Structure 1
Amino acid sequence: MRALERTVPAPEDLGLELIGVPAGSDLHLDLEMTSVSEGVFVSGTVAGPLQGECGRCLRPIEDDFSARIRELYAYPESATEETTDEDEVGRLQDDLIDLEPALRDAVVFALPVNPLCRPDCPGLCSECGAHWDELPEDHSHRQIDPRWAGLSKLTASTEE
């Protein structure tokens, strides 16, 4: 077994539509590589910063994440290489391991599909688009049925 701790720059487009890892930011890898009969088993964690926007109110989000990596990289001409498709299991190439696909999978699966700035985020008013947090308690957009619109003029004149 061999331990590896490294800080590497984040690749482009690492994330989802609303949240992801900024390109070039530091990703901290804490990995263990273990030789097994069919290849090298890599396990450990990747951690780094996240940036995005809230899925309800569109406010910016900055956070940190940590995700687990567990991946087998097959030796050339091993039984695993012969019995699996090329995209099922990673492959050693001249004693090198390409961790990017495993890293992408681990990070993307660890991210929230609908990120929130806070768990109780009320979102935006569907009519005016203002943040519900910033609106008064009695905020509303009174909808009048077009069939009754003429009668609303009568009630407005009697209130005056």
Structure 2
Amino acid sequence: MSENRQATTRNAAASPWAIDTRELGRRPGSSRAVHRVVALESPLGVEDVIAAPVGADVDVDVLLESVVEGVLVSGTASAPLEGTCSRCLDPISDRVEVELTELFAYPFSATDETTDEDEVPRLVDDRIDLEPVVRDAVVLALPQVPLCSPDCAGLCSGCGVKWADLGPDHGHEKIDPRWAALQERLGDSSDRPEEK
């Protein structure tokens, strides 16, 4: 075994995301439930927009099933989210839960031999690594435009204050820049007496 392969195997075995499947014994039909809580070492998502932050606990609840071609993993993963509303810039706290279904191919199986490495994950030394599967599922489930509430009105473009904090009569008088010099010269027309 090469040094790189040994290092990869040691890292996978030490990872809290790695699950040993030897108990299934490559017997199609055998299964095992796994529940883990894993603290994130890097954020899941886009920091400063919306993400599961570093140190957050990801709750993973999956069923491992031995099938002819590998180990089928199905279940759920959930994590807390922190972010910023895209309209009003208020902080957001939420939770995401995703469904997981992934086949990890046995080495030298027909699936292993006929698919590219990036198409189907593989078992390495009878271990599966759930981190890429969970990371991909969570990132795809995150909103592209996170909002604090569906009806968030955002900020006033004139003064930058949240519309929710402003009265219904709030507004800004907009003067056409072509007429601004004339208005400065004549002043506000409401100050002049009306002509009869």
Larger Rg: 2
Question: Is 1:25–2:79 an aligned residue pair?
Answer: no
Question: Is 1:10–2:40 an aligned residue pair?
Answer: yes
Question: Is 1:156–2:192 an aligned residue pair?
Answer: no
Where 1:90 maps in the other structure, the secondary structure is coil
Identity, in percent, stands at 56
With over 3 angstroms needed to count, the CA separation of the structure-2 counterparts of 1:158 and 1:9, relative to structure 1, is closer
The separation in 2 between residues aligned to 1:48 and 1:138, in whole angstroms, is 41
Unaligned runs of 5+ in 2: 1-30
Deviation by residue 1:48-83 (Cα, 9 ceiling, x = unmatched): 211001011010001111111111100001111111
TM-score (ref. length: structure 1): 0.94
Counterpart for residue 90 of structure 1: 121
The separation in 2 between residues aligned to 1:127 and 1:104, in whole angstroms, is 40
| 1:129 positional shift | 1.2
The separation in 2 between residues aligned to 1:121 and 1:157, in whole angstroms, is 37
| 1:127 positional shift | 2.1
Where 1:145 maps in the other structure, the secondary structure is coil
Describe how 1:1-160 pairs up with structure 2 within 5 A.
1-17=31-47, 18-153=49-184, 154=186, 156=188, 158-159=190-191
RMSD over aligned Cα atoms: 1.4
Where 1:15 maps in the other structure, the secondary structure is strand
The separation in 2 between residues aligned to 1:117 and 1:96, in whole angstroms, is 40
With over 3 angstroms needed to count, the CA separation of the structure-2 counterparts of 1:69 and 1:49, relative to structure 1, is same
Where 1:97 maps in the other structure, the secondary structure is strand
Unaligned runs of 5+ in 1: none
TM-score (ref. length: structure 2): 0.77
Tell me the matched-pair count.
Answer: 160
